[in-house]
């Protein structure tokens, strides 16, 4: 007995020492914030009873149940929120000083951050507050007695023009959140692939959507979705029920988008069934527009990069592709993407893949295929990107999705195209753009009209984002970052099974 008691006393003494350091760190941090001119303060994510024995008992109990690695949240002590971190990065020359619109958005993110910290317990954000067994019991009990527990904190829906820094600001917000919170940051494409994969897994259940919502909310109470956009009718039809259930389960949504909520899925099939989702979204999120007209992506250092304009450049592109591959011999490969599907790669080696535009964008492929491709290859060579118009609108949609996925995965693009990024989409316009064009008069013949003009709202809005991203992907900064990433992470030449859906 004495042998058993001695180690326990040693453990208590050690944890009392850690608690003393923890409290002194909090005290120093509070004093530092009080002396600063910043109006924002951060409180600890959890409120502890700092009694002599209560805190040591709490920490010992947590250490025994979750492990010492989960107990240590010292790195969270230096976090005071996105606005404070933004100012620190600007002072350290890590970021370019933004405009007033960015600062206004950061104030909204800081407000949300403070509310979440204040209501961390009520929002059930701490992933270690309850055991896994208790979580399973609550989920099982809720099957018999449905309960709703909407979060006391509303989320945030950020929208604005391309290149205004929406993704950067949301990432800055997400990085400041405590490590022990139930949180997830994911691209909207990836999120919906995740949802459909889960629905497939629970096929045959009475209400698979409710089960999926339960799983997602059990994993992540704070959900950050980047590039929220709805173009698929299957997504549009399930979003309202899915998010009603997620919000009822206490999920807090932070989303970025190029579109205002009222303009989501504009002109889409069966949009009347989608409209209730817009009301749900505006009810549970504060909507904030980033009014900046600055495209920060285009302010990167100009560089020719690997975007080549012209025709009959296939041989030239293959030479460039071989230079990047090195001594490896490119061979046909096959990668698994999602739900048992595979994608054939015409040529691949050393983390690089080669496709013609027809093979990758004229076939019935989608985000799942492109995510799978980017999990196996960090560089893509694409030959023969055409000028887009009415005749190849579907291919344009696939190309936009491909660029989105590559940008999200920080992949490198080599391509030959018939025109500059702007020229590729010059014939794609929104309905309002088309209405502002000069109407046909008796002096204008039909022969002079552009018969290949593509009037498409979703594609018309998406084209600006794609042009902006293609510009940045060929900048010195982007390519330098890509090279550094590849140097630090070896990608296998022969890809193993690829999971395109991040659970």
What does 162-177 look like in DSSP terms, one character per residue?
TTSSHHHHHHHHHHTS
Band (pLDDT 50/70/90 cuts) for residue 294 is low
Q: Note whether 54 and 128 are same-domain residues.
A: no
Let me know if residue 446 belongs to a domain. Answer: yes
**Residue 182's pLDDT band (cuts 50, 70, 90):** very high
Of 9, 44, 78, which residue sits at a domain end?
Answer: 78
Q: Which of 333, 380, 338, 341 is nearest to 360 (CA)?
A: 380
Lowest mean pLDDT of 147-161, 225-239, 300-314, 339-353, name the range.
300-314
- Of 239, 267, 290, the domain-final residue: 290
What pLDDT sits at residue 128? Answer: 80
SS3 state at 382: strand
Residue 35 has pLDDT above 70, yes or no: no
Same domain flag for 228 and 370 = no
pLDDT tens track for 186-242: 989 889 989 998 998 998 889 999 999 999 999 999 999 998 988 888 899 899 999
Are residue 115 and residue 206 in the same domain, yes or no? yes
Cα(171)–Cα(298) distance, integer angstroms: 20
Query: What proportion of the chain, given as a percentage, has pLDDT over 90?
Result: 41
pLDDT over 50 (residue 497) = no
pLDDT-derived band at 146 (thresholds 50, 70, 90) equals low
Query: Is 177's pLDDT higher than 90?
Result: yes
- Which residues, at least 6 apart from 404, have a Cβ–Cβ distance to it below 8 Å? 187, 189, 227, 367, 465, 466, 469
Interval 448-465 mean pLDDT: 80
Q: Among 54-68, 157-171, 175-189, name the most confident range.
A: 175-189
Lowest mean pLDDT, pick from 6-10, 192-196, 209-213, 488-492: 6-10
Same domain, 266 and 178: yes
If you search the block for the tokens 């209405």, which residue do you land on? 435
Encoded tokens for 476: 């010195």
Main-chain dihedrals φ then ψ at residue 183, nearest 5 degrees: -145, 155
Same domain, 250 and 317: no
pLDDT of residue 98: 62
* Ramachandran angles phi, psi of 440, nearest 5°: -70, 135
The least confident of 26-30, 56-60, 239-243, 397-401 is 56-60
* Average pLDDT score over the chain: 77
Where does the pLDDT of residue 438 fall: very low under 50, low under 70, confident under 90, or very high at 90 and above?
Answer: low
Whose tokens are 């889409």? That residue is 268
Q: Tell me whether residue 500 is in a domain.
A: no
Q: Is residue 502 part of a domain?
A: no
Q: What pLDDT is recorded for position 104?
A: 87
Top pLDDT among 92 and 285 is at 285
Number of folded domains that form the chain: 3
C-alpha count within 13 angstroms, C-beta hemisphere, residue 72:
5
- Is there a single domain that holds both residue 93 and residue 205? yes
For residue 190, the domain's CATH number is: 3.40.50.300
3-state secondary structure (DSSP) of residue 179: coil
Lowest mean pLDDT among 145-154, 217-226, 267-276: 145-154
Instruction: Give the pLDDT of residue 302.
Output: 52
**326 domain residue, yes or no:** yes
Q: Distances from the Cα of 479 to the Cαs of 63, 350, 399, in angstroms?
A: 44, 17, 20
Domain match, 418 and 323 both: yes
Structure confidence at residue 80 (pLDDT): 82
Q: Which domain holds residue 18?
A: 1-78
Give the separation between CA 115 and CA 118, rounded to whole angstroms. Answer: 5
425 assigned to some structural domain: yes
Domain match, 238 and 283 both: yes
In this structure, the answer to whether residues 31 and 122 fall within a common structural domain is: no
Q: Considering the domain boundaries, does residue 495 fall inside one?
A: no
Give Cβ neighbours of residue 250 (< 8 Å, ≥ 6 apart).
123, 124, 149, 150, 151, 217, 221
Same domain, 345 and 463: yes
Q: Which two tokens stand for residue 304?
A: 């020719």
pLDDT of residue 328: 86
The strand ranges marked E within 2-48 are: none
Could you read off the pLDDT of 331-385 as tens digits, one per residue? 999 988 876 788 999 999 999 999 999 999 999 998 889 989 999 999 999 999 9
Together in a domain, 321 and 441: yes
Phi–psi pair at 480, nearest 5 degrees: -65, -40
What per-residue confidence (pLDDT) applies to 300? 55
Reported as a pLDDT band with limits 50, 70 and 90, residue 306 is confident
User: Does residue 493 form part of some domain?
Assistant: no
pLDDT number for residue 485: 82
pLDDT of 298: 56
Between 227 and 497, the higher pLDDT residue: 227
Shared domain check, 346 and 221? no
Model confidence at 303: pLDDT above 60: no
Return the structure tokens found at 9: 């006393």
Measured CA to CA, the distance from residue 496 to residue 137 in angstroms comes to: 37
In terms of C-beta distances under 8 Å and separation of at least 24 residues, what long-range contacts does 480-484 make, across chains too? 481/410, 482/378, 482/410, 482/411, 482/412
In a domain, 402, yes or no: yes
HEC states along 195-239?
HHHHHHHCCCCCCHHHHHHHHHHHHCCEEEEECCCCCCHHHHHHH
pLDDT band at 268 (very low <50, low <70, confident <90, very high): confident
Unique residue bearing structure tokens 């509303």:
154
């Amino acid at each position: 007995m004495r042998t058993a008691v001695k180690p326990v006393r040693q453990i208590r003494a050690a944890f009392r020492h850690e608690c003393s350091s923890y409290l002194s760190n909090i005290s120093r941090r509070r004093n530092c914030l009080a002396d600063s001119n910043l109006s924002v303060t951060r409180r600890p994510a959890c409120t502890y009873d700092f009694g002599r024995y209560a805190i040591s008992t709490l920490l010992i109990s947590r250490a025994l149940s979750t492990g010492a690695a989960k107990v240590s949240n010292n790195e969270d002590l230096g976090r005071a929120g996105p606005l404070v971190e933004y100012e620190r990065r600007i002072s350290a020359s890590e970021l370019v000083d933004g405009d007033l619109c960015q600062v206004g958005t950061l104030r909204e993110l800081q407000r949300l951050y403070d509310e979440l910290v204040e209501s961390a317990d009520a929002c059930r954000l701490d992933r270690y507050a309850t055991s896994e067994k208790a979580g399973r019991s609550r989920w099982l009990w809720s099957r018999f007695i449905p309960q709703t527990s909407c979060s006391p904190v509303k989320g945030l829906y950020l929208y604005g023009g391309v290149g205004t820094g929406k993704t950067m600001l949301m990432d800055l917000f997400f990085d400041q959140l405590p490590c022990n919170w139930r949180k997830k940051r994911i691209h909207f494409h990836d999120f919906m692939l995740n949802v459909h994969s889960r629905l497939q897994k629970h096929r045959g259940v009475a209400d698979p959507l409710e089960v999926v919502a339960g799983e997602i909310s059990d994993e992540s109470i704070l959900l950050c979705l980047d590039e929220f956009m709805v173009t698929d009718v299957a997504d549009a039809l399930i979003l309202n029920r899915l998010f009603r259930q997620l919000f009822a389960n206490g999920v807090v949504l932070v989303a970025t988008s190029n579109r205002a909520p009222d303009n989501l899925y504009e002109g889409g099939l069966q949009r009347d069934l989608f409209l209730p989702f817009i009301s749900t979204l505006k009810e549970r999120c504060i909507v904030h527009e980033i009014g900046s007209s600055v495209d920060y992506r285009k302010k990167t250092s100009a560089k020719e990069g690997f975007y080549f304009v012209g025709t009959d450049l296939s041989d030239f592109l293959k030479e460039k592709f071989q230079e990047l591959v090195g001594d490896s011999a490119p061979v046909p490969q096959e990668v698994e993407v999602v739900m048992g599907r595979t994608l054939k790669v015409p040529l691949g080696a050393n983390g690089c893949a080669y496709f013609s535009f027809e093979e990758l964008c004229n076939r019935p492929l989608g985000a799942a295929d492109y995510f799978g491709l980017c999990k196996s290859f960090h560089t893509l060579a694409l030959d023969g990107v055409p000028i887009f118009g009415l005749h190849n609108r579907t291919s344009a949609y696939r190309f936009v999705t491909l660029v989105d996925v590559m940008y999200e995965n920080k992949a490198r693009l080599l391509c030959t195209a018939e025109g500059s990024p702007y020229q590729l989409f010059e014939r794609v316009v929104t309905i309002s753009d088309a209405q502002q064009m000069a109407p046909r008069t008796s002096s204008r013949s039909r022969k002079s009209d552009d018969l290949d003009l593509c009037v498409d709202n979703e594609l018309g809005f998406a084209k600006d984002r794609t042009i902006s991203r293609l510009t940045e992907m060929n900048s010195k900064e982007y390519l330098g970052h890509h090279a550094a990433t590849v140097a630090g992470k070896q990608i296998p030449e022969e890809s193993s099974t690829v999971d395109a859906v991040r659970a």
